[in-house]
Amino acid sequence: MTKISNLDASHFQCEAVTVLLGYKNSPEGELHPIMQQRARKAQETAQKFETPIVCTGGWGATFNQHVFPHALHVQKWLQANGVKSEQFLPYAASRNTCEDGKLCADIIRLFKIKTVYLVTSDFHIQRGYLWLRHFSPQVTLIPTPSETEAPGEEMQKLLVHEQQAKARFYQDFPGTPSLDALYNWSEL
C-alpha cells in the first residue's frame, strides 16, 4: 500500500471521492475487459461529481503478477483515457475486497471524506458495499456499478462466487443488517 501516514492531505479539499475497486490484469499489465468497464464507469462518475479517484489493487496470484500494483495499471489506463494525474488520491494496494474496504477506510479518514461513490461491477457491487460500509460506517456510500459484458458461463461463475463470498461475510459478521435493509438496490 502507498504510505499515506506522512502525506500532506491539506491540498486536497474534497468531501467526496470515487473509489474504484480493482479486478485483474494480464502478466504484462493490460487491464481485463471487466476492469476496463469499471474504469470507464469511474471516469464518468468522477467527472460527473467532480471527485478525485482512489484505485485499489495490489498483487495476487489470480489478478496481478506484474511487478507494479494493479492500481497503478488502472491509473495508467485512466490517464491514457483522459484522467489527469492530479485527480488521483493515493491508491490502496489491496489483495481482495476485504482489504479494499480496510485500506480505503484509511484514505477516507485521512482526507476526511464524507461521501464515497463506489464503483465496481454490477455483480460485485453488493459485496464491495458491505466491506466499505463495514470499515467506514460514517460515510455516505453511493453504489455506482458498471454494467458487465461477459460471456454467460463466465458471468455465471462470477455470480456464484459473489453469492458464496457474501454468505461468508454474513457468517463472519452476523450482526450486519441485510443488504436490502442497507440500500434500495432497485434504484440502481
Q: What's the pLDDT tens digit per position in 59-113?
A: 888 888 888 999 999 999 999 999 999 999 999 999 999 999 999 999 999 999 9
Residue of higher predicted confidence among 10 and 26: 26
> pTM (2 decimals)?
0.93
Residue 12 has what pLDDT?
61
φ and ψ of 25, to 5 deg: -140, 165
Residue 139 has what pLDDT?
97
Residue 6 has what pLDDT?
44
Residues 6+ apart with CB under 8 A from 121: 23, 34, 37, 38, 145, 146, 148, 158
Report d(CA 97, CA 84) in Å as an integer: 26
3-state DSSP percent of the chain in helix, strand and coil, to 5: 45, 15, 40
Sign of CA dihedral 106, 168, 164, 181: negative
Report d(CA 5, CA 187) in Å as an integer: 37
Q: What's the pLDDT tens digit per position in 30-61?
A: 999 999 999 999 999 999 999 999 999 998 88
Residue 1 has what pLDDT?
42
- CB-based contact 69:91 (threshold 8 Å): yes
The H or E element spanning position 54 is: strand 53-55
Which domains are seen in the chain, by residue range?
Answer: 13-148 (3.40.50.620)
**CA terminus-to-terminus distance, the chain:** 31
